[in-house]
Amino acid sequence: MISMTKAFKNYWRNYFNFSGDATRAEYWWMVIWSFLFTILWSAAGTAVAYYHTSAVKKLIAATDYTRLNLPPAVMAWMGITVFVGLLLVIPSLSLEVRRLHNTGLASFWVWLLVLADLSTKIATEFVNSMPLTIATTILSLIIFILILIPSNFFEYAHIIGRDR
């Protein structure tokens, strides 16, 4: 079994590696890392916003976000948050693809699932419709279940598996 620090190193080492495999342990250690990072990042963001209470009141009451006059510290924190989020998208996607590869799914099915999931999640941001929300939820649940499956479970399954 892989250690938490080894999983963290592999996460960054395999930044653009979409072709390998990732074990369940490697995947779930990074889920824990991400969860802890999110808690700490949110706490720090809350501290910055709390320090600038007037900024929080403006954000809550705003109807036109283009005319907000937020303090520079809050604007900087929001910019850094967007940058960090974009920095983590590729390795997280890579890890998810490698984990799905590890279950034995053929690459076609892995990419079909991941692209469908991403497209529905992005579309849900722009279109508020119940069928799209349901589709996103179902796809996310399917991917979650597939990530739980043991290594090489589908390896020799006809059509969906990859014969090695």
Amino acid at position 79, single letter: G
Could you give the percent of the chain with pLDDT greater than 70?
Answer: 88
Shortest CA distance to 146 belongs to which of 84, 112, 100?
100
Residue 39 is predicted with a pLDDT of 97
Residue 94 is predicted with a pLDDT of 94
The CA-atom distances, in angstroms, between 119 and each of 14, 19, 70, 124, 145 are 23, 21, 32, 8, 19
Residue 67 is predicted with a pLDDT of 59
The CA-atom distances, in angstroms, between 151 and each of 75, 102, 109 are 44, 5, 16
Residue 24 is predicted with a pLDDT of 94
Q: What is the mean pLDDT of residues 25-48?
A: 93
Higher local confidence (pLDDT), 156 or 32: 32
Average pLDDT, the chain: 87
- Measured distance CA(115)–CA(111) in Å, rounded: 6
Residue 157 is predicted with a pLDDT of 86
- Measured distance CA(123)–CA(113) in Å, rounded: 15
- Residue 151 backbone phi and psi in degrees, to 5: -55, 140
Residue 55 is predicted with a pLDDT of 63
- Residue 159, by phi and psi: left (phi above 0), alpha (psi -120 to 50) or beta? left
Q: What is the pLDDT of residues 53-110, one digit of tens each?
A: 666 666 666 665 555 667 788 888 889 999 999 999 999 999 999 999 999 998 888 8
Residue 47 is predicted with a pLDDT of 86
Which one-letter DSSP state was computed for residue 66?
G
Could you give the percent of the chain with pLDDT greater than 90?
Answer: 50
